[in-house]
Chains A and B, each alone.
Chain A
Amino acid sequence: MSIRRQELSSKQLALILLLPSILIILCVVIGPLVFAFYLSFFKAEPIIGGISTKFIGISNYIYYFLKDPLFWSAVRVTTYFTVVSLVIELILGISMALVLNKSFIGRSFVRSIILLPWALPTVVNARMWEWIYAGSSFGALNGLMKVLHIFPADYDKVWLGFDVPLQNIPLIGNFMEWVGASTALNMIILADTWKVTPLVTLLVLAALQTFPDSLYEAAGIDGASSWSQFWNITLPLLRPVLLVVLVLRTMELFRVFDIIYILMQYSIRVVGVYTFETGMKFLNFGRGSALSFLVGLFILGIALIYVRVLYSEET
């Protein structure tokens, strides 16, 4: 009798504790999402006091998959942004973590300042790099290039420009043009990487600190070089945290909007920017919703992989 009462109160308590959160999420997230899904089957435009809708079935989806070249170019440019950023973030993040894991004077100081870029608001980061990249003689990067004699004294590069790097090399140049990897996009990748790498570094560093020293001592006695130690001991042990970073970052990178919109408005159309342009600039709510849904589905797919990874690491 008392056990049954206990169970009942546990369920009731759970309901009471969860109810406010679930209600908030249901009303303000799930509701609008369902609404957006519904809208994606309509041609929807704003009118006074609401919207006008006309049912058109799956035409919006067909439009994106078959008729709209901009959609596929958005997918390409977003994929380029995601993959290149990820590779740089991982290499830079792991390298920095390996350095910071060594003992040196001032280690705790360096470890604390490393958080600074991560804490910087995205908008400030965007505007800060825009100022560094300024395409005239007062831009800091142009100044630096001239001081280092990489650029001649009278040359100023437009860093946020639409020229494609490596354009003259056959194949590679064609590929870069095909994905839309302009100089501007590459410089934005650099700016975004600067902000996010500390997160990767800190996560990897936290994992590195849990490794027992005895592993490396044994390898050292066996005469393994530091490179083979890294390759055969460190990297396999880092696998769980790297998987988490990989999936988390893929999701965040694929939905990128802020930094690209702030610096380039609609001229670099990653899927986030393209969605926003369709829905909020051209007020084409139906198509915009369909596009949101495609992006959402893709990200949900990665999220499911993420959950799988977490659960498999736990058991």
Chain B
Amino acid sequence: MGIRKARMKKYISRIILYVLVVLIVVWTLAPFTWLFISGLFPYKELISDRTTSWFPENPTLKNFQAMFDMSSHIGQRFMAALRNSLIISGSVTIICLIFGTLAAYALARLKFPFKNNIVMSLISIRMIPTVALVIPFFIIIRTFDYYLIQANSNFHFYDTKINLIILYVTFILGFVIWIMRGFFLTIPTELEEAARIDGCTRTQALIKIVLPLSAPGLVATGIFTFLLAWDEFVLAMVFTKTTNSITIPVYIAALGSQYIHAFDQIAASGFVASLPPIILALIFQKFLIKGLTAGSTKG
């Protein structure tokens, strides 16, 4: 009797476990799946009663095609935003990785004065809200541009990709240094010391020993940087205007306003815009989880 009861209890707890797992999966996937399905609706069906219409009767790829159709206004804007976002996020990632890795190595390995102060201020800088930086940025860039125009210069900052790249690099760089330092600290110093006894210089040891070992860290940090840059909204909203520099978040935010909501376009472009970060995150998830843990818990 006792054994049967214990078996029964185990059986029930398995069922509860699977119910909970299913709930987690549904909770995680349902909203995004609905976004994708909504993209397949023709507009007329999209704006109909949800109690009966959860799937499109006449599914269409029109909404997705429109975004890549360069002859239409929607297509031109979306493709420009996609291109700008890729260029900006890509450049920011490369620049941050180069400078950030060097600085992180110095902070993890070398002895020099004020080291702890620098580490501390880096973390604090990462915490400054972008909204707090928008006002000084706006005034400075506006003034620069005024004098550049006065001097008949072709170059100006407002509404350019370079401007956003510079701004993004600064607020992400501290974060990159912080995470990479965490990774470097996990690599035993003995390996480097052995290499240096064998006659390597510090730079050689960095390139030949430390960098290959920290490749997973570099990948994770690179993806974080890319995601942060891809996601940024405040600065992009303030400092971009035309297809010259608008990014994906600005494009999608502009699709809805208080009065107009193009939900068919929002669904389709929202889905496509999420694909690069989601694919990156899913492919490199092992690295990312390691990076998340190292970045937030390792001092």
Interface residues of chain A, those whose CB is within 8 Å of chain B, are: 7, 9-11, 13-15, 17-18, 20-22, 24-25, 28-30, 32-33, 35-36, 39, 44, 46, 48-51, 96, 99-100, 102, 104, 106, 110, 112-124, 126-132, 134, 137-140, 142-144, 146-147, 153, 194, 198-199, 202-203, 206, 240-241, 244-245, 248, 251, 255, 257-258, 262, 265, 272, 275-276, 279-280, 285, 288-289, 292-293, 295-296, 299-300, 302-304, 306-307, 310-311, 313-314
Contacts and interface: CB of A to CB of B under 8 A. Distances in A.
A99 B17 contact: yes
Contacts, number: 292
Contacts of A143: 49-51, 54
Given A288-B135, A299-B128, A202 B111 contact: no
A310 B285 CA distance: 25
A29 B170 contact: yes
Contact of B128 (A126, A296, A310): A296
Given A49-B147, A240-B297, A310-B299, 13 more contacts: A20-B103, A21-B102, A24-B169, A49-B150, A121-B273, A126-B253, A147-B51, A153-B51, A206-B289, A206-B293, A296-B129, A303-B123, A313-B299
A39 B258 CA distance: 33
A80 to B, nearest CB: 18
B133 interface: yes
Contact of A50 (B32, B143, B170, B249): B143
B234 A276 contact: yes
A119 B21 contact: no
Nearest to B289: A202
A26 B200 CA distance: 33
Interface stretch (B71-79, B187-195, B212-220, B274-282): B274-282
Interface string B81-101: 000000000000000000110
Contacts of B238: 280
B128 A29 contact: yes
A273 to B, nearest CB: 8
Secondary structure class of chain A's binding surface, majority of residues: helix
B170 to A, nearest CB: 4
Contacts of A129: 31
B80 interface: no
A28 B166 contact: yes
A110 B136 CA distance: 44
Most A-side CB within 10 Å, residue of B31, B34, B107, B231: B31
B136 to A, nearest CB: 4
Interface residues of B, number: 99
A51 B135 CA distance: 12
B110 interface: yes
A98 to B, nearest CB: 9
Nearest to B281: A119
A49 B282 CA distance: 48
Given A29-B171, A99-B20, A265 B258 contact: yes
Contacts of B27: 194
Contacts of B234: 257-258, 276
B153 interface: no
Nearest to B48: A138
Contacts of A39: 135-136, 139
